Structure 1
Amino acid sequence: MRQMLAVVGVLGLACVAGCGADGGPVATAPSPASSSAPPVTPSEPAGAYTPPTPARSVPVVRTTPTMLSLSAAGTKYLQITRPYNVALERFEKAANENMSLTTLQARAKAVAAANLAEYGALRSTVWPAKVSTQIRALAKADAAARPHWLLAAAADSKSEMADHVQRASAAGGKSPSTQIRQLLGLPKYNEKDYS
């Protein structure tokens, strides 16, 4: 049955090709040169396929973020620092209430995560020149405190945790947050705002 279809197909093609003898255009098969498949070069084995080169993509236009105004910087600063301040106050409250080691570990882990988020947001924002130096110093203090918070989260005892918390506090304790608040016209830090 397959041979019969093949014979019929070949005869059909021969008839179509022969029909061009009445003066009309002659139907021909496309030449290998006009084929859309890339040519096989002598260095390639027979039957090798070279994938087509990808089309060029549209260039991505990158815009430089604009510098914040002092007013916008104050709002952005409070937005960025709030989660870290809340996490610190929650940890402090748990420590003051002598909560379990497991609870303190979870809170210390939350402090470390909030610290990392604050660090990233501080560094990715274009701050006004008036506070840019202090913001960089705050990000540096965050980076110095973070490893100690991670160690506090992994501590095996409350005394070991207390040691790491003290080191975290010392590393980030000289942070310029008070000066940043003054320069941005923000109120002084009040722990009640974050507890």
Structure 2
Amino acid sequence: MRQLVAVVGVVSAVFVAGCGADEGPATTAPSPASPSSTPTTRPPDEARYQPPTSAPVVRTTPTAPTLAAAGAKYLQITRPYNVALESFEKAANENMSVTTLQNRAKAVAAANLAESRALLKVTWPTSVSKQIRALANADAAARPHWLKIAAADTKSEMADHLKEATAAGNKAPSAQIRQLLHLPKYNEKDYS
């Protein structure tokens, strides 16, 4: 089918080009400055031209999930960050090396970024949308401190930045979201 259309297109182009060359000099439409002259060629019949129609574009607004679905989505989104936090805490409690703590802090910062981005992509039920934005903001406030922990050379420096990260990463929105979505309270054993 595509070859036939191409052949017809080429033949038509040759026919149109050939007609103009065999008939002598091409005629042109009169210039608008001389209204008394009559056109030597007939303008194309625009009434017969029908522009191609396209399907109408229907824009829909995303609908918020039910509370149960929102709860499941919330747990799915927040799990990697919670796992990374618990992994860092475990390493700190077990007095692991600075290098191990740096690597785990990098993982926390990456999970923090992923969580805040994912939270903001979902259309949440109105009852939790304010708290979701607050949690994403808390993530953004804590992230630079996690990056400082990852770059710190001593455990003492890490401890100072960890205090700042904990203060900036306000846990209140998370507790409110869990309550509003009828989820159990945070239990670190779920993420260890």
**TM-score w.r.t. structure 1 length?**
0.68
Amino acid at match of 1:122: L
Moved more, 172-181 or 77-86: 172-181
Residue in structure 2 matching 1:135, options 132, 137, 153: 132
Give the structure 1 partner of residue 190 of structure 2. Answer: 193
| Change in 2 beyond 3 A, CA 1:91/1:62 | farther
Q: Sequence identity of aligned pairs in percent?
A: 76
Distance 1:96 1:66, change over 3 A: same
- In the alignment, structure 1 residue 124 sits paired with structure 2 residue 124: no
CA deviation after TM superposition for structure 1 residue 158, in Å: 1.1
Does residue 66 (structure 1) correspond to residue 26 (structure 2)? The answer is no
**What does 1:38-49 correspond to in 2, within 5 Å?**
none
Match of residue 107 from structure 2: 110
Kindly report structure 1 stretches of 4+ aligned residues shifted beyond 2 Å: 28-32, 58-65
CA distance in 2, matches of 1:152, 1:139: 20
Question: What is the one-letter code of the residue matched to 1:88?
Answer: L
Structure 2 CA distance for partners of 1:173 and 1:29, relative to 1, 3 Å: closer
Partner of 1:173: 170
Tell me whether 1:162 sits opposite 2:159 in the alignment.
yes
* Contact 1:141/1:175 (<8 A) preserved: no
Corresponding position: 1:91 with 2:81: no
- Secondary structure of the corresponding residue to residue 176 of structure 1: helix
> Offset at 1:64?
3.1
Could you tell me how far apart the structure 2 residues matched to 1:157 and 1:30 are? 86
3-state DSSP class of the match of 2:172? Answer: coil
Look up the match of 2:6: none
The Cα of 1:179 is off from its aligned counterpart by: 1.2
In 2, Cα distance between equivalents of 1:60 and 1:98: 59
Structure 2 Cα separation of the partners of residues 165 and 158 of structure 1? 10
Shift of 1:31: 4.2
Unaligned runs of 5+ in 1: 1-27, 33-57
Query: Residues 100 and 31 of structure 1: is their aligned pair in 2 closer, same or farther, counting only changes over 3 Å?
Result: farther
Q: Is the 8 A contact 1:87 1:114 kept in 2?
A: yes
Q: CA deviation at 1:96?
A: 0.5
Q: How big is each residue's C-alpha offset from its partner over 1:71-113, in whole Å with a ceiling of 9 and x where there is no partner?
A: 1000000000000000000000000011111110000000000
- From the superposition, tell whether residues 97 and 59 of structure 1 become closer, same or farther in structure 2 (CA, over 3 Å): farther
Contiguous gaps of at least 5 residues in structure 2: 1-16, 22-54
Separation (CA, whole Å) in 2 of partners of 1:147 and 1:59: 46
1:89-142 Cα offsets, whole Å, 9 max, x none, are 000000001111111000000000000000001111111011111111111100
Residues 1-36 of structure 1: CA distance to partner in whole angstroms, max 9, x if unpaired? Answer: xxxxxxxxxxxxxxxxxxxxxxxxxxx84647xxxx
Q: Is the Cα–Cα contact under 8 Å of residues 145 and 171 in structure 1 kept in the other structure?
A: yes
